[in-house]
Each structure stands twice: as structure tokens, then as C-alpha cells.
Amino acid sequence: MDQEASSQHPKGHQRTRSAVKATRPRSSTKGPLDVDDTPLASLLLPPQQQTNQQPSSAQAEQQHTVIPGGHGHQPKTPVPGSPLLPQSPAAHSPAPSHSRRQLPPLSLSPAGGPSLLSTSPGPSSGAPYGRVAPRPQLDFSHLLRPGIYHELTPLNVPPPFRQSAKQPSASTPIPDLLASGHFRAAAVAAAQALTGANGAPAPDPVDHALILSLFYVRLACLTLIDATALATQEVKALEDLNATFYIDEAGHNLIPWELRVLAVRLQAISFADQRRAVMSYYDLAREARLRLAEAASKHDNSEEHLWRERLNDLGVRVAGVLVEMDDLKGAVEHLASLKESDNGGGKMQMARALLWLHLGDVDAARKCVKPAEGSEGPSNDMTERIMNALCDMADGKYPEALNQWEELSKVSDDEMVGVNRGVCLLYVGRLQEGQNLLESLVDSGRTSHTLLFNLTTMYELCTERSRTLKVQLTEKVAALEPTSFGWEKTNVDFKL
């Protein structure tokens, strides 16, 4: 797998090491025609890198002229008119030479265009030269441009939510918004914080932790409010996540892990190429392995645990992509190769069984959750009982399945058990009971998309006036206290 990943992404990690030294101060006026480098540059740059950099500097210069930063708060720097023009010694001022350090890595596609990592002059004033690392602050202003972020329409939110007193105020801090499930508000707030639109100043372009964290909040929230399509647009602002630009002195990626994981999915959607996601997950997995080995060699247990968990997580996500690609056979093989994580509690077993069920092989699904041979009699293993009930539904034995869900609901208040039982009731001709059951789940504070979808489907079946019932349901759900499960729903959730 490593081989595959590396062959696909020749740039990402090979660049890593050289990136440490990719910070040569160069004259902004250096053009491709200037063959002789300054002595300083040749000192700082490994020879190979130096020659590599040569053609790209012209590229960078061009970008520079096309996009002159555009951030008013940044110190004004002399902007060279053309890479070919400036031969004047005056242009060799120290200020632009700082800014040169933020050159995008070579690996970034030249065709990727001007929108790519802006080569605008960084805030040379605040550059901490007293620090140990010679690497200067990176400029993340390419994520601060208001043009990246789309307007979110509230029109797809049912009025009872829009007009509710539970809508958060504009000044609610983002962590609170997330905790109370106001994801649309959080997405808006994150974009405002990034662009400085809400009165507060935009983040310092060098504060990558804050910027990337806000960016993740933005994208994550978009996917939670049925706006994944927008997220796939906005993620493009990051460009190549494995670019040298994002690699720090230690060779680690500055982008938070969760954002990198999410970006894989969003990019695959925007390129309409799921295979790309498989590849990218493998790429991340390779890095996780390296970090895991690093942590092990340092005997850093918590770090080791972290990377092990992340590696497990990626493994399961790869299976998920294969399912999305409809490569179910591949997904089966892949899942079979994964180990149960330490605190999995039969999760992997269940995942395999669900995959078989999705594929249609009910017998194989049942076998997955069968206890080891020898233990006969009624099973208490919940995983097995849940799977058996699902398998009965897949076999078309709805009355049997219903019995099992009813038994399960006596020992578990899991939302899934309730919803599946309600669905079963419809299949055995007890629509109204099913509807009552699902309504009681809403009353008890459950509001998953699945629950609302099933309930509104039942509304559509049981009356001509389903719209009235749906609107009443929106009012009921809007009246619930906001929780981290997400409070505001969209019209789609109620099939409105």
C-alpha cells in the first residue's frame, strides 16, 4: 500500500525534508534570467533544490504580479512590475526578500493558478526572527479572502426554526454554537471570523492554527446542514494539502488531521472521483504509520495511541469509500483485513455484517455475528441480536423482525432500535402504530434525519394533508432544546 501511495503522490513527503530549508531569502527581483545567485542563497539551499527552484521562481514572480496580495492591513511592499524588468539594485531591499520566503512549493501546480497560495508579501513586521527555527511565518491569507465563502441561504430552513427564540445571537462564540448544534450559525460565524466580516478583525494571516481550525469548522458545519456541495467548492481554497507550504520544520503537516480527513472526501466529491479518496486515505495512512513509528521510538504512549486510533479510523473510511464506489467486493475484502480496534466492542464485526447485508448476502451477514461455536442457546450479545433482526428484515420476515425489535426495545433505548421497530410496523400493516412510535421518539428528543424521514414518509401515507402534519412536526422539533446533535433542520428533513 505504501508503494501505491508513494507512486501516486511523489511529491508530498519527499518534499518534506527539503522544505525545512526551502526558506531561502531571495531577491524579489530575481528573474529567471539571473543565473548567478546571491552567495546567501547558495549557502542556504542545497544545490539540488537550488536548481529546481530556478524555473519556478519565474512562475512565482508571475503569480506575484498577477495577484498582489490584496490585503489592506499588510505592510506595503514594493511590488515588482515584471519578473523580467527589475534589474535595479534598489529592488534588492530586505523587505521583499522576507516575503519571498513564502514562495509556494514547487509541487503546487503552476496551472493551479493565481488563486493558489497567495505569494503576497507576508507581514514582515511581525516575523519572529529571534526564534530557533529559521523558518518564517507562513502567510495563510489565501484562506481569508471573502470570495471563498458562499452565502448560506436560510430559505431551506423551515420557518419555525428561523423564527425561533432559540436562534443564537450573532455574538455567540463558535464553540457554544457547536455545542448547541447551531451548525448553520457556526458555519456563518466561522466564515465571518475568517474574513473579518463581523466587526472583529480577521485573524492574523500567520495564525495558521486559528485559521485552519475555523476553516475546518466552516467545512464540517456545511456538511452537517446539507450543504456538502458548498463545502466541496470551498475546500478548493486549500489547494494541495500535501504541498510543501503546509509542512512545518519537523516535517509535519500544519493542517489539522480532521480537516485533512474531511478534505479527502470533499475533494473526491468535487472531482467526482472516489478512487482519489482511496488513494488519499492511503496517503494519510502512510503518514500515520510514520508518526506511529516515531511515537513508538520516543515511547510516547499517548501519541502512539492517537496515531493508532487514526490509522484504524482511516482503514474503516477506506472501506466506506469502496462502498460509495459500489466496489462492494473490494469493501468486503478490505474490511476483512482490518483488525478490531481496542475499544471497538464488536463494531468491526457489525460493520462487516452490515456490509454483507447491503450487498445482499444475508447468510454471510448472519455468520459474521455468530458467536464462537459451542455457545448455544439464546444469545445476549446485542450485536448479534441487532443483526439478526436486520437479517430477518432482509429475508422479508417482517413479523419475526418486529418481535426482535420489540424485545430489544425492552433492554435498550437506542434510537436505532426504536426507528427500526417503527419501520417494521409499517411492513406488517400497522402503520399507525409505527407512526405513533416514531412520534414518541421525537417527543423524547430524538431528531435524526432518519427518524424524521421515516416519520414524514408515514405522514405522506396516512393522509391527504401530510403537509399540515409535516409543518406541525417542524414546530415540534423546533421547540426542542438545542443539543449538540443539531437543532436546526432543513426542509429536506421534513420532505417539505
Residues 176-215 that bind another protein (CB under 8 A): 178-181, 183, 193, 200-201, 203-204, 206-210, 213-214
Could you say which residues in the range 329-348 bind another protein, by CB under 8 A? 329, 343, 345, 347
Near another protein in 362-391, by CB under 8 A: 362, 382-383, 386-387, 390-391
Tell me the C-alpha distance between 322 and 346, whole Å: 21
Rounded to an integer, what distance in angstroms lies between the CA atom of residue 8 and that of residue 240? Answer: 14
Q: How far is CA 293 from CA 296, 347, 422, in A?
A: 5, 26, 48
HSE of 456, CA atoms in CB hemisphere, 13 A: 21
Closer to another protein by Cβ: residue 26 or 71: 71
Beta-bridge mates of residue 247? 253
Query: Is residue 122 part of the contact set for another protein (CB under 8 A)?
Result: no
The Cα-based distances of 285 to 60, 297, 311 in angstroms read 32, 18, 6
- Residue from 50, 398, 467, 496 that binds another protein (CB under 8 A)? 398
87 near another protein, rule: CB under 8 A: no
Q: With CB under 8 A as the rule, give the number of residues binding another protein.
A: 123
Q: Could you tell me the smallest distance in angstroms from the CB atom of residue 385 to another protein?
A: 10
Stretch that binds another protein, among 17-25, 98-106, 141-149, 319-327 (CB under 8 A): 319-327
Q: How many CB atoms lie within 10 A of CB 411?
A: 11
- Only one of the segments 10-18, 149-157, 160-168, 454-462 lies at the binding site for another protein (rule: CB under 8 A); that segment is 454-462
CA distance 230 to 88: 46
Interface with another protein includes 484 (CB under 8 A)?
yes
CB atoms within 10 A of CB 40: 13
Are 35 and 54 spatial neighbours (Cβ–Cβ below 8 Å)?
no
Residues 23-52, interacting with another protein (CB under 8 A)? none
Q: List the interface residues with another protein, window 265-294 (CB under 8 A).
A: 265
- Should residue 264 be labelled a site residue for another protein when binding is judged by CB under 8 A? no
**Contact region for another protein (CB under 8 A) — 44-52, 79-87, 370-378, 417-425?**
417-425
Euclidean distance between CA atoms 318 and 282, whole angstroms: 8
- Reference 123, options 61, 71, 191, 196; nearest CA is 71
**Would you count residue 457 as binding another protein (CB under 8 A)?**
yes
Comparing CB distances to another protein, the nearer of 26 and 265 is: 265
Of 60, 292, 355, 478, the one binding another protein (CB under 8 A) is 355
Q: Shortest Cβ distance from residue 355 to another protein (Å)?
A: 6
By residue count, the chain amounts to 496
Q: Exactly one of 427, 467, 475, 476 binds another protein (CB under 8 A); which one?
A: 427
Q: Which of 377, 380, 400 is nearest to 390 (CA)?
A: 400
C-alpha cell of residue 125: 513586521
Instruction: Find, among 54, 44, 43, the residue nearest to 23 by Cα.
Output: 44
CA 447 to chain centre: 23
CB of 111 to another protein, least distance (A): 30
Of the two residues 7 and 169, which places its CB atom closer to another protein in the complex?
169
Q: How far is the CB of 31 from another protein (least distance, A)?
A: 32
DSSP string, 301-338: HHHHHHHHHHHHHHHHHHHHHHHHTT-HHHHHHHHHHS
Residue 277 CB, nearest approach to another protein (Å): 11
The nearer residue to another protein, 26 or 310, going by C-beta atoms, is 310
- Select the residue interacting with another protein from 20, 79, 428, 496 (CB under 8 A): 428
